[in-house]
Structures are given as C-alpha cells and as structure tokens.
Amino acid sequence: MLLKKKAWTLGLAISAALSASPAAWGQMLDEPIKPLPAKLNLDARKVNLGKSLFHDKRLSKDNSLSCASCHDIAAGGVDGKQFAVGIKGQVGPINTPTVLNSGLNFRQFWDGRAATLEEQAAGPVHNPGEMGSNWQEVLAKLSQDKAFVERFKGVYPDGLQPRNIQDAIATFERSLNTPSRFDRYLLGEGMALQEDEKQGYQLFKNYGCVACHQGQGVGGNMYQTFGVLGNYFKDKGKVTDADLGRYAVTKNEADRHVFKVPSLRNVELTAPYFHDGSAKTLDEAVEVMFRYQLGRSAPAADKALIVKFLKTLTGEKGMQ
C-alpha cells in the first residue's frame, strides 16, 4: 500500500512538472542556467519599426552603416572582426558584442556604461568612430521619408522623436532571444542533448564556469575582473584604454580590467572572443578562461566536452 501511494505521488509530481512553465522548470531542476521565456510581451508594431531602424543606414552620418552592419543578426549578431569598423573605415578599439539576447544583459557595452538598451542605442549614432552622427541630422533625413513619419505616428503619439527611435530599436533588440537545444533540455527533454554534451555541461558546472556564466543569458548579469587568477594584461602586453574596462567609466581603481561578463548564448557564432578579440577560436577562449579565470589546468578531453556543451547554446530559431 505504501509503495502504491509513493508511486501515485511520484506520478502527480511528474505530471505537474510536465505542465510547468519554463520558469518553474528552471526552479525544479535548480540549475544555475535558466531557460529562456517561452513568450515575450512586446509591442509588435515597435518591434517591426525597430527592425527597420536597425537596418537603416541613414542613422550614420554618411549613410554607409546601419546597426546591422556591425551586428549581423544572421551571423550571430556580430561582425566577425577583431575590432568594430565605423564610418570611413575607422577601426575601433574593441570587439563588437552580440546583439542577440542583449535584452537579458543587466548593463550594456563591455564596460557597462549604458544602463539600458535605449541608452545603448544612442551611443553608436553619436560616436565619431562608429556612425558619427547626431539626432538632429538623423531626424532631418528620416523626416523627409513620409511613409516612415507615418509609421512613427501610428506607434508613438508624438511621432518621430529621438527617444522613440531609441525605444523602437531597443524593443526590436529585446525580441532577439534565441532559444536553443539546451533550453529544451532544461525543460525536461532529455534527448535534446547527446551524452557527451551533457557531460560537457556537468564539467562546466564542476569546474566553476557557472560562477559567472549563469542565469537565462548564461552570463551578462554581473561584472568580473579579466584575470582573476592570472595577470592576463601583463602577459598580453600593450595595454590600451579599451583594456581598462569599468575603470574608464568610474575611475575607481577597483574597477580596472573589470568587464561585464558576456553571454555565452550563440558563442559558437561570435568569434573572435573577449573585448580585445584576441581568441580566434572557441577552444582557445576556453583555454584562456581556464588559465586566467579559473587558475587551473584541465585535461584536453574535458575542455573539448565543454566546447561541445557550449555549442548547444546556439539558437534554433531563424535569425532575422
């Protein structure tokens, strides 16, 4: 009788789990990484308008670059270059972070200088080394496009305004979540991952990678010093202003070489890696993390399994 009661109780638990929401699944499994939300509550009109703006080269001074020029959504939300390239071929000082899943980041830019996606959207437009423009110039160009002006009026009561451009772009960027096979695994679909990928995830946890790469974004939710257990910048040499990290924003010595931890979602697609684009391959990036962040070595087989796990974080839905 007792065995029957236990079986009945287990059956109820399994039934409840199978019908649980994604958030509930993450809690039940008590995993450091949580599945992406199944649905986003976003205004479709703003998403569509923001998508148009994201691909609009009129946001740059010479009409040569759009947001998508550096953040190619079909290629992992990056440009594949070591450093971003702005108008007139200007090579920037830092690697382009992915725009995919950027709505999950607690701050924006490597140094966290923007608190929101709206604030971030204005940065490249005004940066002389990126798009090199300003809102006055952008508004002058867009206001000549009657169809575009009408689209703004249909979405925002006050029409075409800088804050509405920022809001629309940010809303579009928040729509760029990329659920992966790993999310399906977290939600109970055990066959979504192969055994070696599951082993890689377990090693990712056992070695302590999840201390920084956790939550829905598998990162993007905290700051960390680059070189916790090894002097990365001494070994690198030729330290630049871009290597200062948060210090460039706060002027607090404790923030020197501190950066926003990047999301590892779609990491298979976002080479080269780190703020300085110094790691050309994912295997090389994992090696650097073991040396400078974990302060330990690991068998090559373990690192290879971790890389296999990381590739399960590549989004399955079609890129826009």
Phi and psi, residue 96, nearest 5°: -75, 120
Prediction pTM value: 0.89
Tell me the C-alpha distance between 138 and 60, whole Å.
8
Same domain, 160 and 198: no
Residue 235 and residue 142 share a domain: no
5-19, 32-46, 125-139, 208-222: which has the minimum mean pLDDT?
5-19
Asked which of 174, 204, 220 is the last residue of a domain, the reply is 174
Tell me whether residue 130 is one of the annotated catalytic residues: yes
Are the C-beta atoms of 83 and 272 separated by less than 8 Å?
no
State yes or no: pLDDT of 6 exceeds 50: no
Q: Are residue 166 and residue 253 in the same domain, yes or no?
A: no
**Quick check: 157 pLDDT over 60?**
yes
> Is 14 contained in some domain?
no
pLDDT (mean) for 250-256 = 97
Is residue 250 in some structural domain? yes
Q: Is the dihedral of CA 98, 42, 49, 320 positive or negative?
A: positive
Pair 198, 168 in one domain: no
Terminal-to-terminal C-alpha distance of the chain: 57
- State the residue for tokens 């950027």: 102
Q: Which of 111, 142, 174 is the last residue of a domain?
A: 174
pLDDT at 29 (0 to 100): 58
pLDDT over threshold 60, residue 180? yes
Q: Are residues 189 and 300 in the same domain?
A: yes
CATH code for the domain of 258: 1.10.760.10
Burial 140-174 (b: 16+ CB within 10 A, else e): eebeeeeebeebbeebbeeebeeebbbbbbbbbbb
Other C-beta atoms within 10 Å of 62: how many? 11
pLDDT confidence of residue 195: 97
pLDDT digits (tens, 9 = 90+) for 190-229: 999 999 999 999 999 999 999 999 999 999 999 999 999 9
Determine which one of 130, 150, 189, 284 is catalytic.
Answer: 130
> Is residue 267 assigned to a domain?
yes
Residues belonging to the chain: 320
Share of the chain above pLDDT 70, in %: 90
In a domain, 37, yes or no: no
**264 and 290 both lie in a single domain:** yes
Let me know whether 194 and 252 are in one domain.
yes
Q: Does 167 share its domain with 143?
A: yes
Which of 140, 174, 208 terminates a domain? The answer is 174
Q: Residue 274 sits in which domain range? A: 181-311
- Give tens-digit pLDDT for 85-117: 999 999 999 999 999 999 999 999 999 999 999
Number of structural domains in the chain: 2
Do both 224 and 297 map to the same domain?
yes
Asked whether residue 13 is assigned to any structural domain, the reply reads no
Integer Cα distance of 221 and 262 in angstroms: 8
Say if 38 falls within a structural domain. Answer: no
**Is residue 136 domain-shared with residue 185, that is, in the same domain?**
no
Q: How confident is the model at residue 184 (pLDDT cuts 50, 70, 90)?
A: very high
Whether residue 163 sits in one domain with residue 84: yes
* Better-predicted residue by pLDDT, 37 or 25: 37
CA-CA distance, 213 to 200, in Å (whole number)?
14
Confidence at residue 317, expressed as pLDDT on a 0 to 100 scale:
64
Residue 5 located in a structural domain: no
Reported as a single tens digit per residue, the pLDDT across 255-306 is 999 999 999 999 999 999 999 999 999 999 999 999 999 999 999 999 999 9
Digit-coded pLDDT (tens) for 50-94: 999 999 999 999 999 999 999 999 999 999 999 999 999 999 999
207 and 168 in one domain? no
Residue 280 falls inside a structural domain: yes
pLDDT at 9: 34
The CA-atom distances, in angstroms, between 209 and each of 71, 76, 203, 265, 269 are 26, 22, 9, 14, 19
| C-alpha torsion sign, points 159, 160, 164, 165 | positive
